[in-house]
A and B are shown apart, each in its own frame.
Chain A
Amino acid sequence: MLIWFLPAFLFFLLIGLPVFFGLLAAPGLLLWLNGQEKDITLLYRNVYNGMDSFPLMAIPFFMLAGEMMNRGGITIRLVEFSQALMGHLRGGLAQVNILSSILFAGLSGSAVADTSALGSMLIPAMEREGYSRKFAAAITAASSVIGPIIPPSGIMIIYAYVMGESVAALFLAGIIPGILVGVGLMVMVRLMADRYDLPPAHRVVLTGTQLGKTETWVSFLLVRLNLGLLLWSFMPVGAEASSAIQWGLLIGALLIAHGIFLGLRRVVSHDFRMVCKRAMVPLQTPILILGGILAGVFTPTEAAAVAVAYAVFVGFFILRSLSLRDMPQILTNAGITSAVVLLLVGAAMAFKTVVSLSHAPEQLAGFILNLSENPLILLFLINLLLFIVGMFLDAGPAIIILGPILGPIFTDLGVDSIHFAIIMSVNLTVGLATPPMGLVLFVAAAVSKERVETIAKAILPFLAVEILVIFLITYVPAISMTIPRLTGFAQ
């Protein structure tokens, strides 16, 4: 009897009941009909216990950090940096759009924020350069899905929490797939550039850019510290080496880094260096988050709080682009958005209890195994299912609903749980850009003033690339598993 909660939930979902209420109404109704009224109390308790979690706190923190960075005017710096790096390639501004999305992904982890921040800047600029508006909107929407794949990522925090995985492992596993989506889109733009005669490109390096004293020194220190620490981490020193030797090597590494940058000054123009320096401060955010987690200094939640502190430092003291008057609105936006996600996660934990009680995964596993026992075919079918779900439902709620049902089945079939998490996250994230309900399509339409249907047609070549990447990720586990394995976060 209890297994009927799934069709009941699906019914509620399809007629438009908010997911939060559907996650509680369907199992609650079936428990009541089954005479298990006491277990309805268990549902309520699990909503509360589901929200009362330390790891979940990373969600509001990352949202807050992203919101502050975005308001603090870092988007323009990332675009300038991308333009200086990629602007000379054929289809230059489209390539800049994609690279900016990859860089932006390391700060916000939100496809919607990416589309709205980069789109409002790049779509008009692309139109002025001679691109069609629908093409500009389509490439903005298609590249924005990189946001939740490259860490930090809200949906990966949710997946990790609901499925009991390591946030750090998922973050690391998302890096190569995210970059792969970006590279795939760049290749497609290059191919389209010849075929559709996209506007000729030129390298754009802003001239006469000046930096404040504080920012100059902060950038100076950050680049040397990053490279120096990287060199130091590769030095073959045993753990038994004395602290004097360790310090000596660190100072040596910093001096080598300084030397390298002095050498680069002769090769690179002053203007290019200025643009890079302007991008250094915002680009430090992902380095801080991932570096902190990888070095074992912070937990992901603490790293998220440190990212907020860094965003405050950057916005108020380095760029001076934030004021105290901006803060209530920033905090309100981050709070309201997080509250909805946290309630959903709480309801998902309650839903997960009923999923276990009903033995739904076992029955579904039986059904799926009847279709085929070959994991490769099953992965193909599951990708198809996820893609269809992604067309109608946003990635976060879809993960909350499907994770507890599908995760255990594929883990039992021998698919690594982290690998499956990435397949699911990437597939559902791409769904954000698919019609008819792709969230970023609507945002791109609002930003560009182009019709959703027109963008939906123009985005098809890019979606084809993203589908190809999904299958690459699915059938080549090394793409997602290499970094977590190398860093000891996966076996």
Chain B
Amino acid sequence: MGGLLSVLAPIGFVNEFALRIGRAIGVVAIAAMVVAILIQVFFRYVLNNALPWPDEAARFCMLWMTGLMAPTAFRRGGFVAIDMFGRALPSIPGQILSLFLLAVSLLVLVVAIGIGWGEVTGFGGKFTTASLYLPTSFSFDEWYRIPRSWMMASLLVGVVLLTSVNIELILRGLVTLMGGSDRLRPIDDVEMLGSE
């Protein structure tokens, strides 16, 4: 168990750190989404001149918000599941079932990383976004058209973070199974409302 705990500690630390940064960027992203749509409302209905970029910029932010914040929910047990069966089982079979479910999740995530990498670096990622540009000079006379791969990378990053969290949860499950749950650092709980 000592070996497991020594592997778990750095993974837990990295996850905590990465997810904290993810949440911070996600907070900025959700605020930026609101601002972008309000700018569009103002230009479309007040000035009668809809801008091309706010809708796409807001979607860009939403995708990154999702990719960066969903792993936090997963780590804190916020993914919807019917856990009645597992809870009805005795402790040890329940923990083994939980590990099996995490293994299935890991399989899905690993396949998704492979496909996601192919998508971001492949043909689809070589296109550019329809209306998003970044200034490349201080005088704002040179602009770089943002590639679509920057948007697509949001899901890939999300899947990578979910995988890292999944590995941490598997290690925690193994430690618990070996009777070392009291040696695990607690994961913060979060208020999850869902769409309901």
User: Are A340 and B152 in contact, CB atoms less than 8 angstroms apart?
Assistant: no
Instruction: Pick from B41, B63, B81: contact of A302, CB below 8 A.
Output: B41
Query: Do residues A335 and B69 form an inter-chain contact, with CB atoms below 8 A?
Result: yes
Q: Besides the contacts A61-B33, A440-B196, what 7 more A-B pairs have beta carbons closer than 8 Å?
A: A48-B63, A54-B55, A59-B195, A112-B196, A302-B41, A340-B70, A396-B194
- Identify which of B34, B72, B81 contacts A16 (C-beta below 8 A): B81
Give min CB distance, A349 to chain B, whole Å.
13
A21 touches B104 (CB 8 A): yes
Q: B27 at interface (Cβ–Cβ under 8 A)?
A: yes
Q: Write out the residue numbers on chain B whose beta carbons fall within 8 Å of the beta carbon of A341.
A: 194-195
A337 touches B82 (CB 8 A): no
A154-193 residues at the B interface, CB under 8 angstroms? 154-155, 157-158
A333 with B41: CB separation less than 8 A? no
Q: Which residues of B contact A17 (CB under 8 A)?
A: 81, 101, 104-105
Which partner residue on chain A sits nearest B87 by CB separation?
Answer: A16
CA distance in complex: A355, B138 (Å): 51
**Interface size grouping (class) on chain A:** 35 or more
Q: Does B175 contact A (CB under 8 A)?
A: no
CA distance A440 to B63 in the complex (A): 29
Assess the A342–B84 pair: CB atoms within 8 A. no
Q: Which of A74-82, A129-137, A268-276, A387-395 contacts B (4 or more CB under 8 A)?
A: A387-395
A25-B108 contact, Cβ under 8 Å, with A13-B82, A439-B196: yes
* A51: interface (CB < 8 Å): yes
Contact of A28 with B190 at beta-carbon distance under 8 Å, contacts A155-B196, A342-B62 already known: no
A297: chain B residues at CB < 8 Å are 45
Residues of A within 8 A of B84 (CB): 16, 392, 436-437
Question: Within the complex, which residue of B41, B98, B152 is in contact with A306, where a contact is CB–CB below 8 Å?
Answer: B41
Q: Residue B12 at the A interface, CB < 8 A? A: no
Which residues from chain B contact A20 at a C-beta distance below 8 Å?
79-80
B window 23-66: CB within 8 A of A: 23, 26-27, 29-31, 33-34, 37-38, 40-41, 45, 55, 58-59, 62-63, 65-66
Residues of the B chain whose Cβ atoms lie less than 8 Å from the Cβ of A306: 38, 41
Contact A44 B30 (CB under 8 A): no
Most buried by B among A338, A396, A432: A338
A150 at the interface (CB under 8 A from B): no
Asked whether B14 is an interface residue with its Cβ less than 8 Å from the other chain, the reply is no
Can you list 22 A-B pairs with a CB-CB distance of less than 8 A?
A12-B104, A14-B82, A16-B82, A20-B80, A21-B104, A48-B63, A61-B37, A110-B195, A112-B196, A335-B23, A335-B29, A335-B69, A337-B78, A339-B69, A339-B70, A340-B79, A393-B82, A394-B80, A394-B194, A396-B196, A429-B196, A440-B196
Nearest opposing residue in chain B for A306, CB measure: B41
A16, A61, A439: most-surrounded residue (chain B CB, <10 A)? A16
Q: How far is the CA of A396 from the CA of B104 in the complex (A)?
A: 23
Query: Shortest distance in angstroms between A468's beta carbon and chain B's nearest beta carbon?
Result: 22
Contact call A155/B85, Cβ cutoff below 8 A = no
| Contact between A40 and B111, CB atoms less than 8 A apart | yes
Q: Which residues of B contact A344 (CB under 8 A)?
A: 80
Of B3-11, B113-121, B139-147, B179-187, the stretch lying at the interface with chain A is B113-121
Asked if residues A308 and B196 are in contact (CB atoms below 8 Å), the reply is no
How far does the Cβ of B61 sit from chain A's closest Cβ, in whole Å? 9
Question: What's the Cα separation between A69 and B104 when bound, in Å?
Answer: 40
Instruction: Judge whether A112 and B69 touch: CB under 8 Å.
Output: no
Chain B residues within 8 Å of A21, by CB: 79, 104-105, 108
| Chain A residues, Cβ within 8 Å of B45 | 297-298
Of B59, B69, B191, the residue contacting A52 (CB under 8 A) is: B59
Q: Does B97 contact A (CB under 8 A)?
A: yes
| B151 close to A (CB within 8 Å) | yes
Question: Contact at A309–B34, with CB atoms within 8 Å?
Answer: yes
Q: Is A63 an interface residue (CB 8 A)?
A: yes
The distance in angstroms between the C-alpha atoms of A305 and B30, with both chains bound, is 11
Contact status B194-A60, CB under 8 Å: no
Q: Verify B34–A308 contact, CB threshold 8 A.
A: yes
B73 touching A41 by the CB < 8 A rule?
Answer: no
* B82 near A57: Cβ-Cβ < 8 Å: no
Q: A368 on the interface (CB 8 Å rule)?
A: no
Is B66 touching A343 in the complex (CB atoms < 8 A)?
yes
What sequence of 0s and 1s flags, for each residue 443-456 of chain A, a beta carbon within 8 Å of any chain B beta carbon? 00000000000000
Q: Answer whether A57 and B59 are a contact pair too, CB < 8 Å, given A15-B101, A340-B192.
A: yes
Say yes or no: B85 contacts A148, CB within 8 Å.
Answer: no
